[in-house]
Amino acid sequence: MPEEKVWSLVELLRTTIAFFAEKKIDEPRLSAELLLGHVLGLQRLQLYLDHERPLTLKELEAFRAACRERMQGRPVQYIAGEAFFYGYRFFVDERVLIPRPETELVLEHAMERLATSGLASADTPSILDVGTGSGCIAITLALRLPGARVTAADVSADALEAARRNAEAHGVSERITFVEADVLSASFADAVGGPFDLLISNPPYIPEAEWTTLQTEVKQYEPRLALVAPKGFEYYESIAAAAPVLLRKGGVLCFELHADGAEGVKNLLGTGFGDIEVMQDYNKLDRVLSCIAE
């Protein structure tokens, strides 16, 4: 029986990238680098700094198993059990959405609006994150605003378990209160308390009618509960209705938007909000809406 070829890191990466590209795998280079880094416990840069390092047979088998999962459509982040958001590493699995770069824009915009809000408590804000999922928004806000007290709410007990794990890993669990609550319920405001200086949310906003148009790996692996609303606006409507109670005067409401949802969300806000701003993402699509409670 012939001996298994000894692969160096650079050889294996080059071959895998070409194979993924041929098979039309999204982001073939990134996929190959993240999977190999996961198997070896190395950052992507380290793969190239130590590019001549040979792999053991055990490492090679583990990498091939991870590649097979990727070929079946499972997202790299779920295979590796981690994703990066705003430069921080977060544990993720199929119970939570994979953080997107667009959501980093929501976070940045919310912090900017909070800083310029004029609130006396802007340096030590009380924050509510609705639909926290992995906790990436709530935890990053706690890390970036050391004086903040954060409440992270989600209807999914499984998601909250992942979020708590991430909060503990980043050393901010003592400043975050996790609440299992449904924003569509009339009792939501009582469950989460308040008032808050910032209410931020990346709610489910994919209409049922669009579900079939999503990428296969999204439909197969990411939690539908965190993505879909019957018509796309139900969660915005509930949050906007509760916001006058949840936010103190001058507080900031900040949403991630469906790409064509800005006008619809504006129409839900009523007369209790002013200074509405809409921010576009990298593709020039409306992605963030914020306003001030009056």
How far, rounded to the nearest angstrom, does the alpha carbon of residue 147 sit from its chain's CA centroid?
22
Query: What does the angle CA 134 – CA 244 – CA 113 come to, to the nearest 5 degrees?
Result: 60
Kindly give the pairing relationship between strand 82-85 and strand 88-91. antiparallel
pLDDT of residue 4: 67
The CA–CA distances, whole Å, from 55 to 6, 11, 64, 112, 284 equal 7, 10, 12, 46, 43
pLDDT of residue 1: 42
Residue spans per domain, the chain: 9-72, 97-293
The CA–CA distances, whole Å, from 24 to 27, 29, 56, 57, 128 equal 9, 12, 28, 27, 40
Give the distance between the most distant pair of CA atoms in the chain.
Answer: 77
pLDDT of residue 77: 94
Q: Which fold has domain 97-293?
A: Rossmann fold (3.40.50)
Closest Cα partner for 79 from 106, 27, 46, 39? 39
Q: What are the φ/ψ torsions at residue 84 (nearest 5 degrees)? A: -110, 140
One digit per residue, the tens of pLDDT, for the chain of length 294 reads: 445 678 899 999 999 999 999 999 988 999 999 999 999 998 888 998 888 899 999 999 999 999 999 999 999 999 999 999 999 999 999 999 999 999 999 999 999 999 999 898 988 999 999 999 999 999 999 999 999 999 999 999 999 999 999 999 999 999 999 999 999 999 999 999 989 999 999 999 999 999 999 988 899 999 999 999 999 999 999 999 999 999 999 999 999 999 888 999 999 997 889 999 999 999 999 999 999 999
Return d(Cα 171, Cα 220) in angstroms, integer: 32
CB 162 within 8 A of CB 95: yes
First to last CA, the chain: 77
pLDDT of residue 3: 57
Q: What is the DSSP string of the chain?
A: -PPPPPPBHHHHHHHHHHHHHHTT-SSHHHHHHHHHHHHHT--HHHHHHTTTPBPPHHHHHHHHHHHHHHHTT--HHHHHTEEEETTEEEE--TTSPPP-HHHHHHHHHHHHHHHTS--TTTTS-EEEEES-TTSHHHHHHHHH-TT-EEEEEES-HHHHHHHHHHHHHTT-GGGEEEEE--TTSTTHHHHH---EEEEEE----EEGGGGGGS-HHHHHHS-GGGTEESSS-HHHHHHHHHHHHHEEEEEEEEEE--TT-HHHHHHHSTTSEEEEEEEE-TTS-EEEEEEEE-
pLDDT of residue 216: 87
Residue labelled with tokens 């793969």: 47
CB 164 within 8 A of CB 173: yes
| Number of residues that this document lists for the chain | 294
